Amino acid sequence: MKRIVVLTTGGTIAMRAHDQASGAIPSLAAADLLKGLPREVAETRIEEFSNLPSAHFTVEQIWNLSRRIAALVADDAVDGVVVTHGTDTLEESAYLCDLTVDSAKPVVFTGAMRTASEVGYDGFANLATALQVAESAAARGLGTLVVFNDEIHAARWVTKTHTTALDTFQSPGAGPIGRVDYDGVEITRQPLAREYIPADRLEPNVFLLKLAVGMTAELLEHLVVSGARGIVLETLGGGRVPPWWLATIERAIKNGIPMVISSRVGAGRTVDRYGYSGAHRDLVRLGCWFAHGLNGQKARIKLMAAIGAGEAARYF
């Protein structure tokens, strides 16, 4: 039987509401999460990293989490790691591990959408299936995975798509890479070769701006003069901005601030298609970098890690 470490960080999977009026709060200890699991799932050791809602995590904390995971998978006595995590920022922590943990051993993130005091609590089921994936030989070498609602997703593409639904984690434009069913773990396709960034730290002063119709560039101008070390723009469509943003984007790049272009759409790459002012080719001309299909929050994680590696341009 494989030896799996369950690393708990908090989130809904570890919450219950003591009464309707007060709302759910972190309540379950790390050991409580194993009580509802079949004993034969895996040989598990549990370790509590934190017990926080994922909305409370800082950049320093997610970096420390990735370093703890890296240390665990470097241990010959550990065959894989399952991380229980709040769903609000799970995709960012998982993608950070995908980028910065260099190991073929399975690293699997999971959580819950319902608290332990709600009917249909999904925490035990998600944890059980995540453990199955972590102990499966088929999961080796796939990078960091997210297992939710019996589906297996690559950390690079998965995102939270619904505020309350149990199947909230989807991979738009890519789909799951496998699933867990009665016969065990089925991997239906292999992700492309994953990217590794040997970061020594994360740069915290990287910001994400989302564009909307008619927005002025005032917020971008503020970031340029206030010490931003990197900026990700979730642009319109396939990589377009209002023409009145171009001067500020150019000033940011001339000041040495990397500008990474993502799309607010949610799926698909930014593409060179139009010739009007503010289109993709203008952003290329100014020296912007491109997220190549990553959503804004993941492009930010990648830029933070790339700057932390000391050679950011190499990774875009």
pLDDT for 94-142, tens place per residue? 999 999 999 999 999 999 999 888 899 899 999 999 999 999 999 999 9
CA distance 203 to 208: 13
Cα–Cα separations (whole angstroms), residue 130 to 21, 55, 71, 123 = 32, 22, 20, 10
pLDDT in tens, 146-190: 999 999 999 999 999 999 999 999 999 999 999 999 889 999 999
Which member of 8, 12, 159, 235 is catalytic? 12
Give every CB contact of residue 122 below 8 A, 6+ residues apart in sequence: 112, 113, 114, 149, 166
Q: Please answer whether residues 195 and 168 qualify as being in contact, where contact means their C-beta atoms are separated by less than 8 angstroms.
A: no
pTM: 0.95
Q: Which domains does the chain have, with CATH numbers?
A: 3-187 (3.40.50.1170), 206-315 (3.40.50.40)
Of residues 115 and 65, more confidently modeled: 65
- The tokens for 133 are 């994936």
| 3 state SS of 220 | helix
The reported pLDDT for the residue numbered 31 is 81
Alpha helices (H) along the chain: 59-73, 90-100, 123-134, 218-225, 246-254, 280-286, 296-308
Average pLDDT over residues 250-255: 98
**Would you call 270 a catalytic residue per the annotation?**
no
Quick check: 22 pLDDT over 80? no
What's the CA gap between 234 and 171, in Å, rounded? 18
Q: What is the dihedral of CA 259, 263, 269, 275, to 10 degrees?
A: -80
Q: Is the dihedral of CA 170, 130, 166, 298 positive or negative?
A: negative
User: Bridge partners of 289?
Assistant: 260
Q: Are 88 and 54 in contact (CB under 8 A)?
A: yes
CA distance 12 to 89: 12
- pLDDT over threshold 70, residue 40: no
> What pLDDT band is residue 292 in, cutting at 50, 70 and 90?
very high
